[in-house]
Chain A
Amino acid sequence: MLWKKIFNNVWLEFLGRCLLGGVFIYASYHKIAEPAEFAKIIYGYKILPGSLINFLAIFLPFFEFVAGFSLMLGFFPRAGASLINVMLIIFITAIGFNLLRGHEFDCGCFSNSADVHQSPRYLLLRDILYFSIGLMILLFQKARKFCMWPSL
């Protein structure tokens, strides 16, 4: 079947790891550098109780960073892809929820600046695309290319 061929292409898997890993490392940078600004962006989503906002602002960027590196270096890539897909499910749910209730918010995905405003529909589509790439990495069956430590 065609989808099986695509999902099991070693070069496509490698490309997917580089792309998704790079995106998540890049996304984590401004959040690690300016946690207070990132916390304010989480507050802007108006979903979490105040007591959890800072906790998420401190740890989420490091989950993005570690999972991104795990994919790029091939260090437990299946685990890295699992973490990324869990985060993407959270992002998709948060964006979808605010889209449904018509609440305006700043994504804060790649910048803390409120000037970078993207439509929630675009954000949803983009995250679904990333999720598909994560799924491909997660379900990949063959030996992976350029993998430092494929699994335990």
Chain B
Amino acid sequence: MSLSIKKTMVEVLILSGLAMGGGLIVNQISSRGIAWIGEWDLSKGVVTAKAKNDVVVREREISLESAKQLYETHQWLWIDARDSKEFNEGHILGARSYPVQHFLEELLNDFTQKYSADTGIVVYCNGRECSDSHELAEIFREIGYRNVKVFVDGYPVWEEAGYAVEKDF
């Protein structure tokens, strides 16, 4: 091996050390750092990198079967966390649209005026690769709503199961 290639390899090792050290330190001290291993198994629920500021809470999650049972009681408020366009293309019958992207800035007052803190809420979005429902559920918890569940399978699976939906044309 020529001297110049050896030198370059040593330099590559030095730069790699700096990169690894930087990654390690910043991930440790940053409030947005993530765990070494995330949860990427769809069978466990919504996928997540398990960040320090993670909003995914497994205890809130319910699957299709439990969601259907809650739906049939007619005692839960169903909230669609997706954007308005997706909501208009199709949503669970009776659900209300509160897109998570606009909730804090535009919809917070409207929501708190309409629904009391003891309202039971089920939030959903597009399924197990979508964390918008968890994000909105966390906001609900922060503003005082304690009875909040996340329907992890979301609208696509609900519609596929042939359950009640509503589409605006």
B12 at the interface (CB under 8 A from A): yes
Proximity bits, A33-66, B CB within 8 Å = 1, else 0: 1111001100110000011011101110111011
Tell me the smallest distance from the CB of A113 to a CB of chain B, in Å. 11
Contact A43 B16 (CB under 8 A): no
Cβ-Cβ contact count across A and B, 8 Å cutoff: 97
A78 at the interface (CB under 8 A from B): yes
Given A51-B37, A82-B12; A62-B23 close (CB under 8 Å): yes
Contact A34 B16 (CB under 8 A): no
Contacts of A34 in B (CB 8 A): 32
| B interface, size bucket | 35 or more
Contacts of B34 in A (CB 8 A): 35-36, 39, 54, 57-58
Q: A128 to B8, alpha carbons, bound, how many Å? A: 23
Q: A38 to B27, alpha carbons, bound, how many Å? A: 13
A19 at the interface (CB under 8 A from B): no
Contact B11 A151 (CB under 8 A): yes
Contact A78 B11 (CB under 8 A): yes
Contacts of A80 in B (CB 8 A): 15
Among B23, B30, B32: residue with most chain A CB under 10 A = B23
* Chain B minimum-CB-distance residue to A51: B37
Question: Which residues of B pack against A, CB within 8 Å?
Answer: 4, 7-8, 10-12, 14-16, 18-20, 22-24, 26-27, 30, 32-41, 47-51, 53-54, 129
